[in-house]
Structure 1
Amino acid sequence: MRTAPNDDDLTTRARIRNAAIELIGTHGFARASMRMIAQVAGASPALVVHHFGDKDGLRAACNAHVAAMFTDEPDGADGTSRTIETIQAALADLDQYGPALAYLAQMLSDDSGAADELFDGILQGTLRTIREQEASGVIHPQSDPEGAALLLTLFGLAPVVLRRQFARAAGEDELTPAGIARITIPMLELFTHGFYRDDAILQSTKSAMGRQNGK
C-alpha cells in the first residue's frame, strides 16, 4: 500500500487532487465544489482548471490515484496484489488512510467504469490469494473459487462501503480501529471453525439445487 507523502513535499497538482479526495469522500462528488477544493488545497479555482480541465477530469485523476493505492502494490515476485489485505491494513491506520477509504466507498458506489475496474481488480487479487492458499494447504479446496473470492471481497469491503452502519452497530461514532478489532476474533472463528455444527444444511441445499438444475 502506498504511503501518502508529507503535504510539504507535494506538487500543487497533488495537493489539489488530495483535497478533492478528502472533500469528495466526506461530502460526495456533487457537493464538493471546485471552489471548496481549491480553498482546501491552497490554490485558486483557475489553477484547478489549469491542472485538471474540469471537475470530471479532477475526479478521473482522483479515481486513478485511489485505485493505485489499493491495487498497484506488488508483494510477491509475480507482482500480484493482496488487495483485501491491503484494505484491511488501511482500516487499521485510519489516521493516514481514512480519506482514501472514504473516497473508495464513494467510488465503489458510483455507476461508472472506473468503479467496475476497481472492484474487478480487488476481486481478481482475492481470487489469486485463494488459489495460492489452496495450493499451499492454508485453506480447504473450494468447490467454486470464483464464488468464494466474490464473498470474501464483499466481506472485506463491507466496513468501507457501510462504514456508518458498521460504526453505529459497533457502538462507535465513526469507523475506528477499535470497531474493526471487535470483529477480528469472531471473523477468524467463523473462518476457522465454521458456523454450522455439521454439513446437513449444505448437503440438503446441494441436493435441492441439483434437482432444480435437472441433475
Structure 2
Amino acid sequence: MHSSDKTARSEICDRALRLFADNGADNVSLRQVAAAAEVSPSLVVHHFGGKAGLREAVNDRSLAVFRRFAESVGASGRHGADAALDDFLPGRLLAFLSADSPVPAHLCGLLLSDDQAGRQIFRRWHQLKLARLEAADGAARAVRGAEDRARRAAWLTVNEIAVLLLRDQIRALLGGDPLGPEEAARWAELSTDAGRDAPGAAGRGTCPGERR
C-alpha cells in the first residue's frame, strides 16, 4: 500500500472513530465519514469495502488502544488513597489518553452494543479487576474464595463501567465530573469501599440468598 493510501485510510478511520463516538455507529453514514475526512465516498469503500468493514476497522483501533491501556495496568506499590486511585480503572483510562480522545465514548458505545468488541472489553476489564483482587488477597485461597473473587471482580467491573457510561448524568446530578482530577480520587475511595462490601467479600458482603 502506498504511503498516501495509508495516510488516507488512517484519516478516514480517525474521522469515523470520532463520529461513531459522538453519534453512535448506527447513526453515521459513509457519506458523513467521507465528508469529515474530505474524501469521496468511493475512496471509503475502496479502503474498507463498506460500512461493516469501516466499523470493524474503527472497533479494532479502539480495542488496540484499550489493550495498550490494559497492559499498562500493573500491580501498584502505592498505599492509601493513592492506591485506591491507582485501582480505579475509569480514572486511569482517561489519564492514559489525551484529554480530547474519542476512545472512551466509543468504548462506551461498544459496551452497550451486542458487538463482540464490547464483550472483549468487558472480559478484559474483569480480568484486570480480578488480578488486583488476587494480588490484594495474597496467597491462594480455597476454590470458594476464588469463586467469590470472580464475583467481586465482576461487581466492581459493573460499577466502574457504570461511572464511565453515566459520567454526564453523574455530573449533572452532583455538579462535579466523577472522572475529573479532583473527583476521581473520591470515586476511587468509594469504589474501594464498595469492593469490600461486594457480594462474596470476606467478612462483610454476602452472596444473594445468604443471611448476615
Contact 2:130 2:150 in 1 (8 A): yes
Counterpart CA distance in 2 for 1:75 and 1:103 is 20
Deviation sequence 1:130-154 (CA, Å, 0-9, x none): 2123228xxxx88711011112211
Aligned length: 184
Aligned pairs (5 A) from 1:84-95: 87-92=90-95
Structure 2 residue ranges without an equivalent (≥5): 1-5, 75-86, 140-144, 198-202
Amino acid at match of 1:111: D
SS in 2 for 1:144: helix
Name the residue aligned to 2:192: 191
Contact 1:94 1:177 in 2 (8 A): no
Deviation sequence 1:71-90 (CA, Å, 0-9, x none): 2343489xxxxxx7564223
Call closer, same or farther: CA 1:20–1:189 in 2, change over 3 Å.
Answer: closer
Contact 1:23 1:32 in 2 (8 A): yes
SS in 1 for 2:28: coil
What is the aligned counterpart of 1:170 among 164, 171, 174? Answer: 174
Counterpart CA distance in 1 for 2:155 and 2:27 is 32
CA RMSD in angstroms comes to 3.6
Deviation sequence 1:158-206 (CA, Å, 0-9, x none): 222223312212326xx5753x6325225416625967xxxxx958x56
Say yes or no: does 1:102 pair with 2:85: no
What is the aligned counterpart of 1:47 among 38, 43, 47? Answer: 43
Amino acid at match of 2:151: G
What is the aligned counterpart of 2:114 among 111, 114, 128? Answer: 111
Counterpart CA distance in 1 for 2:208 and 2:21 is 46
What is the aligned counterpart of 2:123 among 112, 120, 123? Answer: 120
Say yes or no: does 1:132 pair with 2:128: no
Structure 1 residue ranges without an equivalent (≥5): 1-9, 78-83, 196-200, 211-215
Q: Percent identity?
A: 27
SS in 2 for 1:209: coil
Counterpart CA distance in 1 for 2:208 and 2:157 is 27
Call closer, same or farther: CA 1:15–1:86 in 2, change over 3 Å.
Answer: farther
Q: What is the TM-score of this pair, normalised by structure 2?
A: 0.70
Q: What is the TM-score of this pair, normalised by structure 1?
A: 0.69
Moved over 3 A (4+): 84-87, 92-98, 175-178, 192-195, 205-208
Amino acid at match of 2:182: A
Contact 1:109 1:115 in 2 (8 A): yes
Call closer, same or farther: CA 1:89–1:202 in 2, change over 3 Å.
Answer: closer
